[in-house]
Structure 1
Amino acid sequence: MSLYSERHGKRLPKISTYNISEDAYALLLNLCSRYRKNLTEKFPKENYDGFTGERYIDFDENTYDKDIHFRIPNLFRNEAGLIVPPQIMDNYDQFALLDLIEFYAKNIRDIDEDWNNQKYKNYRYVIVHNTARVFKTFQNEVNDLFTEIGLLYILTDKKIIERKIKDGVIADSIDNEISMVPEDGLRSLLEDAVALYRTPNNSARQDSVEKIWDAFERLKSYYKDLDKRRSVIKILEAMSHKNAKFYEMFDSEFTDLTRIGNKFRIRHHERNQQDITDPNYYDYLFSRCLSLVTLAIKYLEDDIQKGR
């Protein structure tokens, strides 16, 4: 929703961030709470009304709380053990909140609620349907809130949360390009690398760099009928269209990335390797390696199907 000051350029641009503040946490937790009864299929409770002598289904708060305690142990709770938003100076795990949102996304179902009797209103009951059209409403609300508060995350149609990449490292077409790679092993490594890079948890960024370097190393041996160096030469010749200056540029990049992979703690963990101390370096390294690999795969011949 665009407000007056936004439409007329009177508002400062939102600050985009991966950090979920206490206020943002509270808004997202409240959003989830509004959909709590949509989890009734997973947490049903059979109640009995002594006045009417009728049994009915409602949401089981107690079982829900216990399940979440074991399923998402790092979700913030107060001293009484209740799930609440953190306050300033509280230590909290913001990724546990993203886990909770994914849990809701994967388990919400369409429901109806009603009074047993419109006149006396003895109790309200829940009817659970075998559909999940409500997911789209939940998804839109979550993503709208992410946008409103400047959080660089998105709840996807796969019901998982991915981080939006600040500087456009991953093009929208990347999934389609990777799917066209003929060799199963290389394609699988690239898929894993991109999926890890999109994962919100910071530790996944390190894993994504390891995977993209694994893909780079496998790329160099793509042509099985050639040794590794000659396989690289064949790739370089295709990439450069046998233009000497472009060949030299791409060859230099292959050499540099190989040296980086050996010198820094990316794929190997020997004591003499340099640790990567700034998490922002992972973005740079991933972007650099991915750029070269995705360019190279455009020129790969379908040697798998040729039987080589």
Structure 2
Amino acid sequence: MTERQYYSTRIGINIGENFPIETLRELILSTYTFFEDKEYFQEAFGKTCVDAGYISGFCGSDFKGYFLRKLRKHNIWPIKDYYLEYSDNDIFDVIELLFDLISKPIEGTYHSWGECGWHYTIFDKAQGQEEFRTEINEIIRDYKEGFTLSEDGQVMLLGDKGLNYLLNAQIPNYDPQNVDNRIEVAVLKFRRYRSTFNERKDAVRDLVDILEFLRPKIKEYMLTKDESDLFNIANNFAIRHHNEKQKDNYDALWLNWIFYIYLSTIHMMVRVLKKFESKT
């Protein structure tokens, strides 16, 4: 379904980018409350019954301790008490943990006495997580450089606009050990929201290693000069090796650019190889 855009967004007045952390805090509280009101955390946190008292969920009764054990941080739970003190790292940690805890209530019994409400016994975790991802991603895509909550519940860099499709593009199955799995690891390193500059450089190095593996296979389909230029970039800019002749005074924008160049080149190489090898 195409995402709905409202008037100010459609005409470019409110593009929703680069809002401050104060806004992010309010939006995360609002999102949590939205799902809490719909009982999407009943399986995890349990329910207080007017007759039976507190009935615990799988987190037990000590929610504060549970959050401390999982996140190794104080002053996180209850969210309503501490959200105004959250850093963006705190918020991303909470998002990932809530993703693990959420589930959509499906079946149960309604307890009418004292308006106690629904006691659910069957939950759909995958559906709850998908609905949570949809709401969260509408928020964090516009925070700072842009983020996304992945299908397995990790907050990742969204990627440069116009190029982020490459980060999600599926490469044709070719060589799981030397190509396919290595690409997945490199992209994960590059997109982690806490990744350092050196970790991103390491992700580029991983892509160069894949190119090196594909190099002898692609030689007959690729111009020699084009091929050598790709490796000259990696070798001369302190990515693959380190010596006094290499250049290393460059910023993250350059590293981002070369990551996308190498990733798109690997996609191209694999498709070319698949095409020609299928004919032999």
| Category of TM-score, reference length = shorter chain | 0.7 to 0.9
1:213 corresponds, among 208, 215, 223, to 208
- Residues 179 and 298 of structure 1: CA distance in aligned 2, closer, same or farther (over 3 Å): closer
Relative to the length of structure 2, the TM-score reads 0.72
3-state SS in 1 of match to 2:55: strand
Aligned equivalents of 1:105, 1:194: Cα separation in 2 = 22
Contact 2:17 2:142 (8 Å CA) reproduced: no
- Residues 134 and 238 of structure 1: CA distance in aligned 2, closer, same or farther (over 3 Å): same
Contact 2:108 2:118 (8 Å CA) reproduced: yes
Contact 1:14 1:149 (8 Å CA) reproduced: no
Partner of 1:30: 30
Aligned equivalents of 1:260, 1:197: Cα separation in 2 = 18
Q: For residue 286 of structure 1, report the CA deviation from its aligned partner.
A: 0.3
- Residues 2 and 296 of structure 1: CA distance in aligned 2, closer, same or farther (over 3 Å): closer
Partner of 1:191: 184
Q: Deviations over 1:158-203 (max 9, x none)?
A: 4333332224335459643x23324631222122223333333342
Contact 1:175 1:191 (8 Å CA) reproduced: no
- Percent of aligned pairs with the same amino acid: 19
Q: Which runs of 5+ in 2 are unaligned?
A: none
Q: For residue 283 of structure 1, report the CA deviation from its aligned partner.
A: 0.6
Alignment of 1:39-118 (within 5 A): 39-44=41-46, 52=51, 54-58=52-56, 63-73=62-72, 83-86=82-85, 92=87, 94-111=88-105, 116-118=111-113
Aligned residue pair count: 267
Aligned equivalents of 2:256, 2:137: Cα separation in 1 = 24
1:238 corresponds, among 208, 221, 229, to 221
Partner of 2:163: 169
Q: Deviations over 1:27-78 (max 9, x none)?
A: 1243124435634434447x787xx5x3541567962222222322468759
Contact 1:264 1:274 (8 Å CA) reproduced: yes
Contact 2:167 2:187 (8 Å CA) reproduced: no
Aligned equivalents of 2:246, 2:73: Cα separation in 1 = 33
3-state SS in 1 of match to 2:40: helix
Contact 1:56 1:125 (8 Å CA) reproduced: no
Contact 2:204 2:258 (8 Å CA) reproduced: yes
Aligned equivalents of 1:129, 1:58: Cα separation in 2 = 15
Q: Between 182-191 and 36-45, report the one with greater CA deviation.
A: 36-45
- Residues 254 and 70 of structure 1: CA distance in aligned 2, closer, same or farther (over 3 Å): farther
3-state SS in 2 of match to 1:127: strand
Aligned equivalents of 1:20, 1:169: Cα separation in 2 = 25
3-state SS in 2 of match to 1:97: helix
Q: Which runs of 5+ in 1 are unaligned?
A: 221-230, 240-246
Contact 1:183 1:304 (8 Å CA) reproduced: no
Partner of 1:228: none
Decide which structure has greater helix share.
Answer: 2
Q: For residue 235 of structure 1, report the CA deviation from its aligned partner.
A: 1.7
Contact 2:156 2:192 (8 Å CA) reproduced: yes
Aligned equivalents of 1:148, 1:173: Cα separation in 2 = 18
- Residues 284 and 65 of structure 1: CA distance in aligned 2, closer, same or farther (over 3 Å): same
- Residues 142 and 277 of structure 1: CA distance in aligned 2, closer, same or farther (over 3 Å): same
- Residues 103 and 187 of structure 1: CA distance in aligned 2, closer, same or farther (over 3 Å): same
AA at the equivalent of 1:290: L
- Residues 57 and 161 of structure 1: CA distance in aligned 2, closer, same or farther (over 3 Å): same
Partner of 2:253: 280
- Residues 191 and 131 of structure 1: CA distance in aligned 2, closer, same or farther (over 3 Å): same
Aligned equivalents of 1:56, 1:277: Cα separation in 2 = 58
3-state SS in 1 of match to 2:43: coil
3-state SS in 1 of match to 2:239: coil
Partner of 1:227: none
Contact 1:209 1:285 (8 Å CA) reproduced: yes
Contact 1:57 1:126 (8 Å CA) reproduced: no
